[in-house]
A and B are shown apart, each in its own frame.
Chain A
Amino acid sequence: MKPNDVILHSVTKAAVVIILTFSIYLFFGGHHNPGGGFIGGLSTASGLVLLYLAFDIETVRTNIPIDFKKVAGFGVLLAIMTGFGSIFFDVPFLSQTFGHFDLPIFGETELATAVLFDVGVALAVIGTAITIILSISEDG
């Protein structure tokens, strides 16, 4: 008999949106408030894990067709490349810079290359966490 988990599904759908929003908030708050790439990535991963728990792995995989091993690799690569980029501007490795830009919706915003590094960290954390969960949950 198939168990009826309609409540779990409905709650998950609402909760995942909230968790992912919160994780993005944590991620962007990192420069001035507690938060940042690591915790942001980890909470994103926890939202995805909730999806895997509520629905089965195959369903989630068809809806989010991403190879998380590559996400992790790409994340670290991005983080190193933000450091590597500084070599071309003739400044020491891992130097960072920032500037104020007038963006269409946000108005005047401060953009820093440290955010790119943080994106890399977040992707690495998401990729690693999901890869661990997926590989211990599967057979073979």
Chain B
Amino acid sequence: MNNIVILPIIIPAIAGLILVIFRKSVGFQRLVSILAILVMGFVSVILMGQIRREGIQTLQAGGWAPPFGISIVADMFSALLLLSTGTVALFCLLFAFQSVGKEREAYYFYPLFLFLITGVNGSFLTGDLFNLFVCFEVMLISSYVLISLGGTKLQLRESIKYILINVVSSSLFLLAIAYLYAMIGTLNLAHLSIRVAEAGQDSLMTTVALLFLIVFGMKAALFLFFWLPGSYSAPPTAIAAIFAALLTKVGIYAIFRMFTLVFYHEPQITHLLIGILGAITMILGAIGAVAYWDIKKILTYNVIVGVGFIIAGLASFTSTGMMGSIYYLIHDIFIKALIFLLGGTIIHLTGTSKLNEISGLIRNHPYLGWIFFIAALSLAGIPPLSGFLGKVFITRGTFETGYYWLGAIGLITSLMVLYSIMKVFMNVFWGETYLSKEMEKGKAKGPIMFPLGFLTAITISLGLGAEGIHEYVRLATEGLLNPNLYIEAVMGGNQIR
């Protein structure tokens, strides 16, 4: 019994509901939402300490014994993601204060933001397949409203596509759960793992595993990413940034959980396929990032490349590769939020997202320019910054398994990512200055720069201080590669099998 595990889920939920009831005062809304995110982040730090000392933390909701009730499980992998979520949400929220506008703020922006965080945290913490589905829906329904909130033409068109795609993938998710339940007869992830191991992963089970791969692939923009570039360029900057930072990561987390805890018996089929999908995703994403001359498009295709890269670490299925994936996942959450906020700020300043209409911003905005430069280098994985270590480990992992092609594709696409983001930097910041300060469409002063500065500081310190979080990442990898630790923590001494 350990109620702290549930707090990251219900704190944002309760705060959001209070804000639904007291809608009128925007100041109150800002205060409560910031407090909720701060408390949530604080709780996840405590949780990380506890997991480090005592192993995986579990809570059986309602006090029912493991396979019968819902287990809430926090292992180091979830806790790291929780802390990253809290931090990135805090900075997106600070950015939203300046940029999202009174109109949206008065119409439930903050409650929806908090519900989104509730869904994300719930997905990271749940130990039950159906509860994972519910948390996915909590997250998705909030994201539907956030993507269409404001009701501009572009937002409405893209939200229709986004909702359609997600309704289809959610019903496939439900179908996959139904198949699995019909074969195995349980929904608790730990219990599923035991029963799949007992029954053996035959070809039918592998088929269901692949159905799960399709579902989570759709959510995580792994190969089935056709919906992503449009949807992520529609909403306002702060919302697009939190989407880019978190939503695909939840899909990736689900793939990791399912294919390390439940379906890990046939890696030569499932994990090879995951590797192939990851390779295709990287290639297509990188082609998209190189091809476009539009800031929003380039950034959204970079999200897709990142997904492919993280998945490559899982495909290797070695401790080095997994460790790389976790490093890269954490880095990716921060860097995608930072790069989207930067892109949004540039568009806010110049009033256009087309690269050939912008030039020479460095003269009037030196800080913005150099922050963008650091972010670009970090995105590509240049050594002292945070993207480097993950890339090294993932590449080593793929080489260890013998997937040389996968590692090579990863390295080549890194080059293409660097090219695409440097193209943005050189076009936007260098060259002749078109716009004088007075002609600019918006301002980028003080408050809007704080979140950008802090996120840059985080990406630098994650790179320099990688040794500091190594212990936590190692524990997370250990948890992923030994499903028995998870099973023991959830089922305990329970004899029911």
Contact = CB atoms under 8 A, between A and B. Distances in A.
B10 interface: yes
Q: Which of A69, A77, A93 has the most CB of B within 10 A?
A: A93
A77 B14 contact: yes
B13 A92 contact: no
Interface in B9-55: 10, 13-14, 17-18, 20-21, 23
Contacts of A91: 1, 63
Contacts of B6: 87, 93
Nearest to B2: A92
A87 B5 CA distance: 11
A83 B10 contact: yes
A93 B59 contact: yes
Contacts of B20: 69-70, 72-73
Interface in A79-121: 80-81, 83-84, 87, 90-96
Contacts of B63: 91-92, 95
Interface residues of A, number: 19
A76 interface: yes
Contact of A84 (B10, B23, B59, B72): B10
A96 B61 CA distance: 10
Q: Which of A69, A73, A87, A95 has the most CB of B within 10 A?
A: A73
Contacts of A90: 1
Contacts of A83: 10, 61
A80 B10 CA distance: 8
A80 B21 CA distance: 15
Given A70-B20, A70-B21, A74-B21, A92 B62 contact: yes
Interface residues of B, number: 17
Contacts, number: 49
Given A70-B20, A92-B1, A93-B3, A80 B14 contact: yes
Contact of A94 (B1, B13, B23, B62): B62
Nearest to B62: A94
B17 A87 contact: no
B17 A73 contact: yes
Interface string B52-73: 0000000111110000000010
B62 A80 contact: no
B18 A92 contact: no
Interface string B416-450: 00000000000000000000000000000000000
A92 B21 contact: no
Contacts of B72: 93
B200 to A, nearest CB: 34
Contact of A95 (B17, B18, B62): B62
Contacts of B1: 90-92
Given A70-B21, A73-B20, A73-B21, A92 B60 contact: yes
Contacts of A95: 62-63
A119 B32 CA distance: 26
B33 to A, nearest CB: 15
Nearest to A79: B17
Interface of B: 1, 3, 6, 10, 13-14, 17-18, 20-21, 23, 59-63, 72
10 A-B pairs with least C-beta separation: A73-B20, A77-B17, A93-B6, A94-B62, A92-B63, A94-B61, A73-B21, A87-B3, A95-B63, A70-B21
20 contacts: A69-B20, A72-B20, A73-B21, A77-B14, A77-B17, A80-B14, A81-B14, A83-B61, A84-B10, A92-B1, A92-B3, A92-B59, A92-B60, A92-B61, A92-B63, A93-B3, A93-B10, A93-B62, A93-B72, A96-B62
Given A70-B21, A92-B61, A92-B63, 15 more contacts: A72-B20, A74-B17, A77-B21, A81-B14, A83-B61, A84-B14, A87-B3, A92-B1, A92-B59, A92-B60, A93-B3, A93-B6, A94-B61, A95-B63, A96-B62
